[in-house]
Structure 1
Amino acid sequence: MPEKQPLVWDVHFHLTDVPGETPEDRMKEIVKYLDRMGIDRVMLSLGYPLLADPSPKQLRQGNDQVLRAVKSRPHRAYGFVYLNPKYVQASLNEFDRCVRDGPMVGVKLWVAKRCSARELDPIAKQAASMEAPILQHTWFKVNGNGPGESTPNDIVKLAGRYPGVPFICGHTGGDWELGIRAIRPAKNVFADLAGSNPTSGFVEMAVRELGAERVIYGSDAFGRSCASQLGKVMGAEISETARRLILGENLRRILTPILRTKGYT
């Protein structure tokens, strides 16, 4: 009997660089790619255009775009609310609107402020109250990060203050050898495979250093193609059990508490 196809959930997906005038149009196009690549569900975050330091009004507009896209294809996407820690109260209000009182299931943080800053504490507490994961962009840049751009070291500091919150280390810092080792001691930090070249050895090292249970597939589409990012996992020299965990089972496990609270399971 042929083995069942693995569950594939993509933790890192955007509405940018997709044809379509409306969020619904763009989501319709996205589903074509998902069907082609065998991806069951994506975690959508950020609206369009991409804004690195959005105002409260811009946050709401971008999150509304994601809400519309998710509503149009609820069986193919969940939403992560985009927040800006420079506007703490506005971010808490947006969390309540989109997650506590809305359909979103996680938090997305980008480059407005380093996530080790104390302004992140109220956001992390709010996420903890709903058992919502936080996806934080991270990077190690050879010419230095931007003033608000986090590294994996920053996410480890925040995760240490909130051990009950699952933190997903976006891109694993780009320089994944450094990123994997940086997050290794923090058991509530997971490696996101998205957004770097499909370099041989990335997934194998992550599994070896962290355990397969702490590695999560993501694409960062459409900054990257689904195919190139899936190739990291499909071509990795790891066990089939590990591959299935990475492709979707780990993310589903992390999301199960909030999905259950919302009646999605």
Structure 2
Amino acid sequence: MILDAHGHLGTWPDFLIPDPSADGMVSLMDRLGIDAIGISHLLAVGPSAEEGNRLAFAAAERHPGRFGVWQVYNPHQRNRLTGQGVWGVKIHPDVHECPLDDRRYDPVWELGLPVLAHGQTGSPWSDPALFAAVARRHPEVPLLLGHAGLWPNGFHRAAELAGPNPNVHLEICGSRMTGRWIARLAALIGADRVVYGSDSCFLDLRTGFGRVALAPLDDADRALILGGNLARLLEGRLP
């Protein structure tokens, strides 16, 4: 099973997205052999968490088994969360300008669901050091460090900070990620702690998948990264 941990639907005001539709994403998934992708709607990341989450659930209902929903939590809007029918919670500390370790995210951790969070080396909102702090505070919460810190000069540090916290996994989408870096991260932290994501439809699904498919990994490690690790974290939440 190939599972993509990090996807989106919808548009963003300052970013070209040629096809923001669920139908277009499923078509590409079929061409690549991707079974399911975790989505959050960009409207939810932006101005309306409630409405964007509704649109994500509607897309998942139209395409059974192909989309898992990361419900977005906005710490300023304090929108409702559910523990049913979702892969987990998506938070974006940089868009919301709320540090990952801020107590306003307590409703997220209290659910105990997997959490996918934007991670950005050097950011006051989402630096990997904040992931380590939250992981120590909430060791029972599976935490995906989005983009593995985003910037290449921070990938190694992200792995070092995540390493002592077994509930933190490095999610590897981003335009600056490479196949060689994916292999390095697997060597640094263990392939069982690295999770494939594409950031589609922000970024091209084919490019994100190709990085892992062609990375210098052995078949067992590639299988873990492409779906085995996420399936383990989502046990009981997959069709």
- The normalised TM-score by structure 1 is 0.80
1:95 counterpart SS class: coil
> Is it true that 1:14 corresponds to 2:8 in the alignment?
yes
Q: Deviations over 1:123-154 (max 9, x none)?
A: 2012x1xxx2000101125xxx3x5x311111
- The alpha carbon displacement at 1:233 in A equals 1.3
Provide the residue aligned with 1:31 in structure 2: 26
> Is it true that 1:137 corresponds to 2:122 in the alignment?
no
Structure 1 unaligned runs (5+)? Answer: 1-6, 21-25
> Is it true that 1:174 corresponds to 2:150 in the alignment?
yes
Letter in 2 for 1:238: L
Contact kept? 2:197, 2:208, Cα under 8 Å: yes
Provide the residue aligned with 2:222 in structure 1: 243
Letter in 2 for 1:95: L
Letter in 2 for 1:60: E
Provide the residue aligned with 1:121 in structure 2: 106
1:209 to 184, 188, 205: 188
Letter in 1 for 2:39: L
- The alpha carbon displacement at 1:223 in A equals 1.7
Contact kept? 2:19, 2:201, Cα under 8 Å: no
- The alpha carbon displacement at 1:209 in A equals 1.3
- The alpha carbon displacement at 1:205 in A equals 1.5
Provide the residue aligned with 1:109 in structure 2: 91
Contact kept? 2:119, 2:145, Cα under 8 Å: yes
Write the distance in 1 (CA, Å) between the matches of 2:102 and 2:39.
25
Computing the radius of gyration from Cα coordinates, the structure with the larger value is 1
Contact kept? 1:43, 1:80, Cα under 8 Å: yes
> Is it true that 1:199 corresponds to 2:184 in the alignment?
no
Number of residues paired by the alignment? 227
Task: Output the aligned Cα RMSD.
Answer: 1.8
Provide the residue aligned with 1:95 in structure 2: 81
Q: Deviations over 1:208-263 (max 9, x none)?
A: 11111111000001221122212221222221001001001111110014x2xxxx
Contact kept? 2:150, 2:176, Cα under 8 Å: no
Contact kept? 2:144, 2:168, Cα under 8 Å: yes
- The normalised TM-score by structure 2 is 0.88
Identity of aligned residues (%): 29
Mapping 1:53-64, distance limit 5 Å: 54=47, 58-64=48-54
4+ long deviations beyond 6 Å: none
Provide the residue aligned with 1:72 in structure 2: 62
Would the alpha carbon gap of residues 49 and 125 (structure 1) be closer, same or farther in structure 2, given more than 3 Å must change?
Answer: closer
Provide the residue aligned with 1:3 in structure 2: none
Write the distance in 2 (CA, Å) between the matches of 1:18 and 1:104.
27
- The alpha carbon displacement at 1:46 in A equals 2.5
Letter in 1 for 2:4: D
Write the distance in 2 (CA, Å) between the matches of 1:165 and 1:181.
19
1:14 counterpart SS class: strand
Structure 2 unaligned runs (5+)? Answer: 11-16
1:42 counterpart SS class: strand
- The alpha carbon displacement at 1:200 in A equals 4.3
> Is it true that 1:45 corresponds to 2:40 in the alignment?
yes
Letter in 2 for 1:86: H
Would the alpha carbon gap of residues 48 and 117 (structure 1) be closer, same or farther in structure 2, given more than 3 Å must change?
Answer: closer
